[in-house]
């Protein structure tokens, strides 16, 4: 069994995909569960409805850093209230993106801290997006941990530096591996992931983006996480079954509400 820890089923639906078939295809591929991720609190009702429709789908609530300057500024209390729904198993995705900077950095940072506080209060894992913001991401995670105590979380779609991965693990976070691991020019990422403990790794698609080899050029979907898991197994020198067992166990330890 594999679990797609991060996908965007609402984006697939917008593109005209039959979500019933997407979920069924995942099941046929051996992907027994998936988490569909919220990027805008204003669209949370749509995300929640998708999770309510399918037994094997859960969801999160949060604001992507790209949207931090456009969405109504949301405090921890609002996120906590929405997270009370039985299908909500995580907070985010949130974090910092200094590559595109679709939102001002200060707005991203305020939103990130609000999400961290909601994760701490609820005990639900924080789903962290970070791009070209390694130092600030780790600094904020450390500051919030020192100020208010530990909280669960995961660096999703890990494509950052080896340093960030190591520091995130030191803070007790998990690392989620996407199809980028299979890309031809991802040697630096493979080098970073090779040294990360399997006991801290999850797998994801980030569908509809980042389809792994051999599905490059196609729209990504949860069924394709099997290819990322296979690449991770090869990199680690273990069996595909070992990766499936470990990443599923790790998912259940982190996403306790989904277990």
- Position 237 scores a pLDDT of 98
- Position 207 scores a pLDDT of 98
Instruction: Indicate the CATH number for domain 2-35+43-212+221-226+240-254.
Output: 3.20.20.140
CA 62 – CA 93 distance, rounded (Å): 5
- Position 22 scores a pLDDT of 98
CA 173 – CA 124 distance, rounded (Å): 12
Average pLDDT over the chain reads 98
pLDDT reading at 259 higher than 90: no
CA separation (Å) from 202 to 93, 99, 140, 219, 222? 16, 24, 23, 21, 14
Do 29 and 244 meet the contact criterion of CB atoms below 8 Å apart? no
CA 111 – CA 107 distance, rounded (Å): 6
Tens of pLDDT along 108-155? 999 999 999 999 999 999 999 999 999 999 999 999 999 999 999 999
CA 51 – CA 112 distance, rounded (Å): 24
Tens of pLDDT along 26-52? 999 999 999 999 999 999 999 999 999
Tens of pLDDT along 200-232? 999 999 999 999 999 999 999 999 999 999 999
Q: Specify the pTM.
A: 0.98
Give me the percent of the chain exceeding a pLDDT of 90: 100
- Position 257 scores a pLDDT of 98
Do 103 and 65 meet the contact criterion of CB atoms below 8 Å apart? yes
Mean pLDDT value across residues 177-182: 98
Mean pLDDT value across residues 55-81: 97
The residue ranges of DSSP E strands in 8-70, in sequence order, are 31-36, 57-61
Tens of pLDDT along 11-30? 999 999 999 999 999 999 99
């Amino acid at each position: 069994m594999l679990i797609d820890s991060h996908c965007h089923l609402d984006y697939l639906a917008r593109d005209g995909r039959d979500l019933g078939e997407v979920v069924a295809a995942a099941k046929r591929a051996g992907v027994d569960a998936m988490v569909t991720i919220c990027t805008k609190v204003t669209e949370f009702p749509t995300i929640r409805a998708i999770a309510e429709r399918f037994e094997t789908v859960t969801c999160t609530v949060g604001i992507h850093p790209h949207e931090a300057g456009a969405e109504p500024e949301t405090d921890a209390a609002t996120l906590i209230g929405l997270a009370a729904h039985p299908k909500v198993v995580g907070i985010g995705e949130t974090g910092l993106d200094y590559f595109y900077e679709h939102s001002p950095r200060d707005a991203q940072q305020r939103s990130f801290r609000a999400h961290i506080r909601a994760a701490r209060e609820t005990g639900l894992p924080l789903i962290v997006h970070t791009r070209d913001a390694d130092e600030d991401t780790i600094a904020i995670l450390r500051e919030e941990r020192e100020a208010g105590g530990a909280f669960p979380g995961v660096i999703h779609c890990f494509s950052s530096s080896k340093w960030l991965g190591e520091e995130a693990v030191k803070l007790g976070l998990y690392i989620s591996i996407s199809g980028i691991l299979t890309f031809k020019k991802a040697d630096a990422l493979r080098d970073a992931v090779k040294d990360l403990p399997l006991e801290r790794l999850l797998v994801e698609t980030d569908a509809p983006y980042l389809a792994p080899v051999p599905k490059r050029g196609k729209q990504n979907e949860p069924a394709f996480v099997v290819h990322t898991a296979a690449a991770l197994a090869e990199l680690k020198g273990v069996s595909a079954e070992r990766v499936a067992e470990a990443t599923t166990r790790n998912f259940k330890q982190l996403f306790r509400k989904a277990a």
